Amino acid sequence: MAAATPGTAMTVFLMLSCITAAAAAAAALNLTTLSFDDGFSHLFGNENLIRSPDGRGARLTLDRSSGSGFISNDLYDHGFFSASIKLPSDYSAGVVVAFYTSNGDVFQKTHDELDFEFLGNIRGKDWRIQTNVYGNGSTSRGREERYFLPFDPTAEAHRYSILWTSDHIIFYIDDTPIREVVRSDAMGGDYPSKPMSIYATIWDGSTWATANGRYKVNYKYAPFVAELSDLVLRGCRVDPIQQVDSARRCAEANEDLLAADFAQMTPLKRAAMRRFRERYMTYSFCYDANRYPVTFPDCDIIPSEQSRFFESGETKYPRDRRRARRQSRRP
């Protein structure tokens, strides 16, 4: 048989790499999804929330009348929470889609929260994603980060996951960890520690979501529709009224959570997280000297990373969109 040319060999290598990556992804997920009614209830929006025909997901709509959202039936004392989400396309300035955990309805002044916030944009510009970590009402000490994505989140659904344990928090996009927060004495009460519900919402964030409110929601392009499926709730359920001895009762469930594959930060995962953050992170609270003149004690300041950011915490090097689009078309 004739020897393969370098170009052919590279093509074969890329194809095999993609097949291997896809198989690894399927094995790595290994998640048990549940039906919408088994895990969630309608929160707001009336007919703007529509369950999917198979009963395992929902469509959230924002129009002139209202946004919409749903909430988990239970609170959870730590857990892994995940959904595949397809974002609204076309002009989406001012639109906010959120997948998050919170206990603000129970602890109004000392609430905890972990967020994926998807911030819409004008036509031709990318959606941005923000992650937030708030503990014990620490919204004035917001631990926020923002990112672009290596794919078009409006073309097809991608999985977004939040792991919250007693030791650390990991945000995932598909199988790639993009952020890890390790509990430390330096964080004090800012580490989320009380049982939380899981939410998904779409709403009008015109006052701040796009260019600090410069671009508003234009309802000429409504309805704005977000599709959520492959819902995962894995953790220790806590009665929202009787939260007695939840820590003791949930100890075994938390141990199982810590032993799961998605809770293990292997060297390969850390390398993937580092690459993602180097390429796509556009803002970090750790480098925002304007908002926080005194750096957070739990920040791990990396000089080579710090040099990429202005004092505002914004990146000095906007992503090359053309190159990113070429990459997104690869298998």
Contacts of 181 (CB under 8 A, 6+ apart): 133, 143, 168, 169, 170, 191, 298
For 203-224, write each residue's pLDDT tens digit: 999 999 999 899 999 999 999 9
Buried b vs exposed e over 67-104: b needs ≥16 C-beta within 10 Å?
bbbbbbebbbbbbbbbbbbbbbbebbbbbbbbbbbbbb
CB of 272 within 8 A of CB of 173?
Answer: no
Write down the pLDDT at residue 241. 63
Write down the pLDDT at residue 9. 45
Q: State the pLDDT confidence band at 131, using cuts at 50, 70 and 90.
A: very high
Contacts of 206 (CB under 8 A, 6+ apart): 94, 213, 216, 217
Query: What is the average per-residue pLDDT within 56-79?
Result: 96
Has residue 116 got a pLDDT over 50?
Answer: yes
Write down the pLDDT at residue 250. 86
Write down the pLDDT at residue 331. 29
Which of 93, 52, 71, 60 lies closest to 209 in space, CA to CA?
A: 93
Catalytic annotation, pick one of 117, 144, 145, 227:
117
CB of 11 within 8 A of CB of 4?
Answer: no
% of the chain surpassing 90 pLDDT:
72
For 262-294, write each residue's pLDDT tens digit: 999 999 999 999 999 999 999 999 999 999 999
Query: What is the C-alpha separation between 3 and 246, in angstroms, rounded?
Result: 64
Strands 68-72 and 312-314: unpaired
Location of structure tokens 């957070």: 296
Query: What is the C-alpha separation between 287 and 292, in angstroms, rounded?
Result: 8
Mean pLDDT of the chain: 87
Write down the pLDDT at residue 30. 73
Q: State the pLDDT confidence band at 119, using cuts at 50, 70 and 90.
A: very high
- CATH number, domain 36-316, options 1.10.220.10, 3.40.630.10, 2.50.20.10, 2.60.120.200: 2.60.120.200
Q: What is the pTM of this model?
A: 0.86
Write down the pLDDT at residue 304. 82
Q: State the pLDDT confidence band at 305, using cuts at 50, 70 and 90.
A: confident
Query: What is the C-alpha separation between 205 and 212, in angstroms, rounded?
Result: 10
Write down the pLDDT at residue 247. 65
Mean pLDDT check: name the lowest of 1-10, 115-124, 154-163: 1-10
Structure tokens, 63 = 């129009």
Is 305 an active-site residue?
A: no
Write down the pLDDT at residue 243. 58
Half-sphere exposure of 203 (CA within 13 A, CB side): 15
> CB burial class (10 A; 0-12, 13-18, 19+) of residue 193?
middle
Query: What is the C-alpha separation between 62 and 68, in angstroms, rounded?
Result: 7
Has residue 308 got a pLDDT over 70?
Answer: yes
Which of 314, 305, 304, 319 lies closest to 284 in space, CA to CA?
A: 314
Query: What is the average per-residue pLDDT within 144-163?
Result: 96
3-state secondary structure 149-215: CCCCCCCCCEEEEEEECCCEEEEEECCEEEEEEECCCCCHHHCCCCCEEEEEEEEECCCCCCHHHCC
Query: What is the C-alpha separation between 172 and 116, in angstroms, rounded?
Result: 10
For 236-269, write each residue's pLDDT tens digit: 998 766 656 666 778 888 888 999 999 999 999 9
Catalytic annotation, pick one of 113, 144, 145, 227:
113
254 or 55: which leads in pLDDT: 55
Neighbours of 320 (CB within 10 A): 11
Write down the pLDDT at residue 319. 62
Domain ranges of the chain: 36-316
Has residue 29 got a pLDDT over 70?
Answer: no
Is 252 an active-site residue?
A: no
